């Protein structure tokens, strides 16, 4: 076989694999969502995982309550059989990573059932880290792209978390400013009222003195 042709064939195959990895990197990304959950309601979502695939997904779910009530939410994650993989109550934030042990739809839910008045605003991310078995031969550049995919998804998730935290802090600061403003108005009104009453009282006092 012609050595030059063999080299070009290997280069072409490697390029196709690299193109596939980059396509996966761009397509997978981070699924970021923000939802409003009315009081007494539950919102559920599904992720379909296939453990028999050569390339599978290790899924990570993160969430952050950005507004409403005491900034808490109930969360659970179920496998296709309905068994709890994760179940937390009244949390403002959470992160859970798992590798599916069985294929099928994995359900995760956010519950605001404990609240009867306040809606909750929840931001959550679902992302996966591409995994390839150790016995599968990969070129060094493919390994670097695989590591880059993992690092990029982690950075995106962290960025989303920072955005949500900034929004939460801004809402808290605005709420505090509103309370300070209204309390200042109440104090000003009380001071003006007391001053007006003192002026009225002193005026009546001196009028009574003159009459006598």
Which CATH number do you get for residue 29? 2.60.120.380
Q: How confident is the model at residue 102 (pLDDT cuts 50, 70, 90)?
A: confident
Model confidence at 8, pLDDT cuts 50, 70, 90, reads very low
Asked whether residue 178 is assigned to any structural domain, the reply reads no
The verdict on residue 75 lying in a domain is: yes
Measuring CA to CA, which residue among 153, 135, 56 is closest to residue 103? 56
Assigned domain for 205 exists: no
pTM score: 0.56
Identify the band that residue 77 occupies on the pLDDT scale cut at 50, 70 and 90.
very high
CB 49 within 8 A of CB 100: yes
Please, which residues bridge with residue 133 across strands?
A: none
Residue 155 resides in a domain: yes
Summarize pLDDT for 141-180 with one digit per residue, the tens: 766 776 677 677 667 767 767 777 787 778 778 878 888 8
CB 71 within 8 A of CB 122: no
**Counts of helices then strands in the chain (DSSP H, E):** 2, 8
DSSP 3: H
Decide if 94 is inside a domain: yes
Look at residue 207 and tell me if it is in a domain: no
Residue 210, domain member (yes or no): no
Q: Is residue 179 part of a domain?
A: no
Number of domains observed in the structure of the chain: 1
Tens digit of pLDDT for each residue in 25-51?
Answer: 444 445 568 899 999 999 999 888 777
* Domain span at 34: 3-164
């Amino acid at each position: 076989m012609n050595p030059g042709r063999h080299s070009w064939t290997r280069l072409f195959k490697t390029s196709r694999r690299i193109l596939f990895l980059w396509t996966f990197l761009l397509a997978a990304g981070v699924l970021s969502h923000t939802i409003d959950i009315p009081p007494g309601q539950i919102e559920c979502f599904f992720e379909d995982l296939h453990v028999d695939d050569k390339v599978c997904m290790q899924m990570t779910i993160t969430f952050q309550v950005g507004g409403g009530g005491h900034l808490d939410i109930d969360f659970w994650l179920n496998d296709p059989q309905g068994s709890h993989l994760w179940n937390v109550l009244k949390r403002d934030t959470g992160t859970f990573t798992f590798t599916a042990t069985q294929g099928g739809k994995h359900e995760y839910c956010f519950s605001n059932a404990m609240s009867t008045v306040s809606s909750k605003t929840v931001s959550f991310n679902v992302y996966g880290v591409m995994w390839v078995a150790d016995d599968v031969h990969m070129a060094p550049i493919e390994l670097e792209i695989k590591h880059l995919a993992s690092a990029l998804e982690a950075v995106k998730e962290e960025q989303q978390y920072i955005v949500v935290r900034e929004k939460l802090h801004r809402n808290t600061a605005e709420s505090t400013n509103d309370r300070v403003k209204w309390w200042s108005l109440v104090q000003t009104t009380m001071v003006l009222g007391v001053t007006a009453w003192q002026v009225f009282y002193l005026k009546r006092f001196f009028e009574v003195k003159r009459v006598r």
